[in-house]
Every structure is written in structure tokens, then in C-alpha cells.
């Protein structure tokens, strides 16, 4: 696929890196020659220097042959205009824009072809906020991802001593947690040298304390799955947010009705603005989130969740390490640099969250071939989970009408769940945790876990229908 990316910032760079690894032809447009040169040195792509809203620059980037344009420039107005030019002048089939303002919702009238011609809107702040909200709802989890309109969830959780399933083999789980169907799709374990490695998941695999476990189950059963892997944490009631930027403010607005919120912000003018945007019950503090005295005065030791959401990776890491040492129950750091995220893995920082990775999954769903409804990037881009819809019949499809054990899946890939529609307008869909003899039917939503990104193309081809299938 020929894809043009406007903007070589953090999001644009991460998107380009992900798409290049999947053998797409990528061209990146940016006003900074130095930034483009650094990208070209690392990745197999082409850089074009210039203002992307100018037709001549888009022409030089190959817009006449492009299949998709992804606008990730810093300004909303730039992304809106370039999508309009791409559609009107060059007829690019698919346009995606990163839009921060809530005034331009996905699917709104202004986004239509007669408006700015934006097919899909991506909002990093909204994605991050939704991600964190799930972690507040399930404080024991490291990650909570939903598929099939919320019917199925994939959770990542750190197993601890005392959980009913810990130190037991997977084949014993039906007796330990009766009435709950689940599928362990991956287990990552740290060895004596501190290196993570994946453990094969089968009936003989024993779950050990400290394992990072990925489990698929019906969303209604997620609470019981978490309880089986670790002791239930107290609900999140007290939250301290370091950084009152776009993400910090958006999150504070959403949770201040449920939690006691404190926001630490270094800028005095920004603090004044925050006080006008939040309820009087929320406390806005001017100061440095790495100031030990300030954290002690604000009783960080009583905090259920400490989140460092500034734009500075180093500050976020240091603030979280300090808050954890001082007694905060759980800490989350926003980290843009992948190398830093890898570095803090396994430290006292409970969750290292990459803004770019939360957005990439949304973008990848539009790039995938076949009918792919959702894509999530896991373990900082190393693995993926996707939701594909099976179409056709046994003649035209490689999956419909076939048992799970008949499918030529790549080694290590697993079908973890199937969501099947039930006859009747009001009937909820049926969640199936498949076995080797489960047969896939047409219109099934199939959740597939891929331990390595390079397997994606093979799985996509499985779900593409042949020419004999008539829609």
C-alpha cells in the first residue's frame, strides 16, 4: 500500500516505523529536513521536505498514486486542509487526520466528503484518556482492550502469590474458576538476567508469580479473571496527576466526579486556566512533580494512582519512581521514547504508557487488508491482537466452515475468542472460547493474538474472501 504521512513528530514517526515494518511504501512530508534525514537513516522510506497543504508538495510525495494519507501535523487546521486537498486535487481514497479539538468529531458533517473530506479522525488525547479510564476501573490490570463492541476483553495482568490460579497449570483452571471460560494467549516471564521471554501456553504451563499474563474472556467475566490471578485491589478513589496539559486536563475532567483529584502543574498561567475548567472539589497545585517536599505535603503515600502525564519523559519517570518510593499504591508514566519504555519495564513503575502506541492500533485497523474491525499493538509494538470478520463460505473463504485445527495459522498465533451473532434483534452476541474442533461460521468476529508483527500479513490473507464470494 502506498501511504503518505504528513508530520514526522512523535506520532508520525511511530506510525511510519510500524507501517514500514509491514512492507508498505511510505513517504513522509515534514518541514524539517533534519528530522526527515534522521528518519530516512533509520527506516526504509522516502522523505519530502515542504508544507503538506501545498499541492506541489503532495505531488512530489506521489499523491496521484497514493492509497492513503495520514495527517499527523501538530495543528488541527493543517491536518484538515491537507485532507481536503488530497481528496479534491488528487482523489486519494482514504484520508485520516489527527484532530485534538472535540469540535470535529469522527463522522460529523464537517468531516464528510463535502466538508473537509476526512474519512477517519484520530485523537491521541481521547485514546489515552479511554485507556487510563479502563485502568482505573480495573486497577489490578496492566492493560484492558475491548473487542466486538465490548463483548470480549483482552487483559494483561501481573500474577502475584495468593491468586487462586497462580502456581497451577492451565489445565486446572476450569476447576479453580468454575463457570468462567477464558483463554490464556500469552505469558511473558522474566529470567535470572532480567530479560523477558514468552512462555508457551498449553495445558501443562504453570502460572508463576511475576508472570505477565494475557487473557481473553467475555467482558462480563473480566472481574473474576482478575480476582483469580491476584488479590483484588482497593478501588481507585484518590488520584494525583502530574501535568495539567491536554491529557491531564481531559482525564481530570472525566474522573473528578468519581475520584478525589489533585493536579500538579509547573506553569502558573496554566494553573489559573485549570482552576476555571475543573470543579472546586479538585485541587490544582503549582509546583514540580519531582519535588519530594511537595509530594509529602500532599500525602502522596495515600494516593491510589499517581499519573505523570507531562511532555517530558525524564520528569515522568523520575516523578513516578519518587511517588512509588514514597508510598503511592500504583504509578503510571507517560513515555514517548520507546527505548525509555523498554528501560523502565520491570522497575517500580507499574505501567509505562506510550501515546503513539495507543493511536497506532486505531490507524492500523484502516490499513489492514480483509475485514479487520480492530487492531491493538501490544508490548510496545512487538505483538498484536486483531479482530477480523469472517465472510463467505467454504469455497470462497479460507476460514469459514473450517475447524480451528484446520487453519494454517503461523506458529504461535492463537484464535482466542469468537463472537457470534444470535438470531433475534434483542439477543446479545454469543462469546465462544474456541477449542480445536470449533468451526468458524460466516460473519463471526474472530479475535487473534499474534506474538510477532511479521505474522500479520499471513493472518490477513486467511480472512480475505475469494473472487467467487458475492457480497
Does residue 317 surpass a pLDDT of 70? yes
The answer to whether residue 64 is domain-embedded is yes
What long-range pairs does 41-47 form, CB within 8 A, spacing at least 24?
Answer: 42/17, 43/16, 43/17, 44/20, 45/16, 45/20, 47/8
pLDDT level of residue 345 (50, 70, 90 thresholds) = low
CATH code of residue 212: 3.30.70.1450
User: Does 8 lie in the same domain as 72?
Assistant: yes
Which of 208, 229, 250 is the last residue in one of the domains?
Answer: 229
- In tens, the pLDDT along 232-253 reads 778 899 999 999 998 999 999 9
Range of the domain at 77: 2-122
What pLDDT, on a 0 to 100 scale, did the predictor assign at position 368? 64
The residues pairing with 448 across neighbouring beta strands, listed in sequence order, are: 386, 415
What does the mean pLDDT of the chain come to? 87
pLDDT level of residue 192 (50, 70, 90 thresholds) = confident
The answer to whether residue 131 is domain-embedded is no
User: Does 317 lie in the same domain as 378?
Assistant: no
- In tens, the pLDDT along 160-182 reads 888 888 888 988 888 888 888 88
What pLDDT, on a 0 to 100 scale, did the predictor assign at position 256? 92
Q: Rg of the Cα trace of the chain?
A: 23
3-state DSSP helix/strand/coil % of the chain, to nearest 5: 35, 25, 40
The answer to whether residue 129 is domain-embedded is no
For the segment 352-357, the average pLDDT, to the nearest whole number, is 78
Closest CA to 132 of 341, 316, 309, 280: 309
Q: Which stretches within 345-449 are classed as H helix?
A: 355-367
- In tens, the pLDDT along 376-410 reads 878 766 788 888 899 888 888 889 999 999 999 88
Does residue 29 surpass a pLDDT of 60? yes
The answer to whether residue 469 is domain-embedded is no
- In tens, the pLDDT along 64-92 reads 999 999 999 999 999 999 999 999 999 99
User: Does 440 lie in the same domain as 386?
Assistant: yes
| Number of domains composing the chain | 4
Does residue 337 surpass a pLDDT of 90? no
The answer to whether residue 330 is domain-embedded is yes
User: Does 157 lie in the same domain as 100?
Assistant: no
What pLDDT, on a 0 to 100 scale, did the predictor assign at position 370? 55
What pLDDT, on a 0 to 100 scale, did the predictor assign at position 18? 77
The answer to whether residue 58 is domain-embedded is yes
The answer to whether residue 133 is domain-embedded is no
The answer to whether residue 458 is domain-embedded is yes
For cell 511510519, what's the residue? 16
Percent of the chain with pLDDT over 70: 96
- Strand 182-190 and strand 196-199: the pairing is antiparallel
Amino acid at each position: 500500500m502506498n501511504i503518505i504521512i504528513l508530520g514526522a513528530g512523535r506520532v508520525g514517526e511511530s506510525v511510519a516505523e510500524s507501517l514500514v515494518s509491514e512492507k508498505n511504501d511510505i513517504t513522509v512530508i515534514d518541514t524539517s529536513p533534519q528530522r526527515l534525514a534522521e528518519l530516512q537513516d533509520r527506516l526504509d522510506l522516502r522523505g519530502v521536505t515542504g508544507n503538506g497543504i501545498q499541492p506541489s508538495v503532495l505531488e512530489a510525495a506521489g499523491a496521484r498514486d497514493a492509497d492513503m494519507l495520514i495527517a499527523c501535523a501538530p495543528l488541527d487546521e493543517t491536518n484538515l486542509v491537507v485532507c481536503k486537498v488530497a481528496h479534491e486535487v488528487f482523489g486519494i481514497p482514504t484520508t485520516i487526520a489527527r484532530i485534538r479539538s472535540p469540535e470535529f468529531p469522527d463522522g460529523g458533517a464537517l468531516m464528510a466528503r463535502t466538508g473537509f473530506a476526512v474519512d477517519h479522525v484520530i485523537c491521541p488525547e481521547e485514546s489515552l484518556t479511554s485507556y487510563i479510564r479502563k485502568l482505573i476501573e480495573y486497577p489490578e490490570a496492566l492493560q484492558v482492550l475491548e473487542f466486538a463492541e465490548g463483548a470480549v476483553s483482552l487483559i494483561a495482568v501481573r500474577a502475584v502469590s495468593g491468586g487462586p490460579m497462580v502456581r497451577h497449570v492451565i489445565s486446572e483452571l476450569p476447576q479453580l474458576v468454575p463457570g468462567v471460560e477464558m483463554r490464556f494467549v500469552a505469558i511473558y516471564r522474566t529470567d535470572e538476567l532480567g530479560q523477558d521471554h514468552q512462555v508457551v501456553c498449553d495445558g501443562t504451563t504453570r502460572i508463576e508469580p511475576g508472570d505477565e499474563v494475557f487473557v481473553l474472556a467475555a467482558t462480563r467475566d473480566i472481574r473474576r479473571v482478575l480476582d483469580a490471578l491476584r488479590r483484588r485491589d482497593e478501588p481507585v478513589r484518590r488520584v494525583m496527576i502530574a501535568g495539567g496539559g491536554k491529557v491531564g486536563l481531559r482525564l481530570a475532567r472525566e474522573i473528578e466526579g468519581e475520584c478525589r483529584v489533585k493536579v500538579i502543574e509547573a506553569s502558573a498561567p496554566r494553573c489559573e486556566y485549570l482552576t476555571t475548567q475543573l470543579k472546586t472539589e479538585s485541587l490544582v497545585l503549582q509546583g514540580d512533580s519531582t519535588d519530594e517536599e511537595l509530594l509529602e505535603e500532599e500525602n502522596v503515600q495515600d494516593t491510589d494512582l499517581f499519573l505523570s502525564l507531562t511532555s517530558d519523559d525524564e520528569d515522568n519517570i523520575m516523578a513516578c519512581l519518587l511517588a512509588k518510593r514514597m508510598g503511592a499504591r500504583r504509578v503510571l508514566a507517560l513515555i514517548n521514547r520507546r527505548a525509555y519504555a523498554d528501560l523502565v519495564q520491570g522497575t517500580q513503575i507499574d505501567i509505562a504508557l506510550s501515546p503513539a502506541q495507543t493511536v497506532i492500533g486505531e490507524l492500523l485497523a484502516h490499513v489492514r487488508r480483509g475485514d479487520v474491525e480492530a487492531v491493538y499493538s501490544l508490548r510496545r509494538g512487538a505483538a498484536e491482537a486483531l479482530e477480523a470478520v469472517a465472510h463467505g463460505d467454504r469455497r470462497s473463504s479460507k476460514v469459514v466452515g473450517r475447524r480451528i485445527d484446520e487453519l494454517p495459522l503461523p506458529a504461535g498465533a492463537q484464535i482466542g475468542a469468537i463472537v457470534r451473532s444470535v438470531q433475534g434483534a434483542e439477543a446479545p452476541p454469543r462469546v465462544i472460547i474456541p477449542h480445536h474442533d470449533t468451526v468458524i461460521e460466516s460473519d463471526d468476529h474472530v479475535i487473534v493474538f499474534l506474538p510477532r508483527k511479521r505474522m500479520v500479513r499471513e493472518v490477513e490473507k486467511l480472512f480475505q474472501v475469494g473472487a467467487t464470494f458475492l457480497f
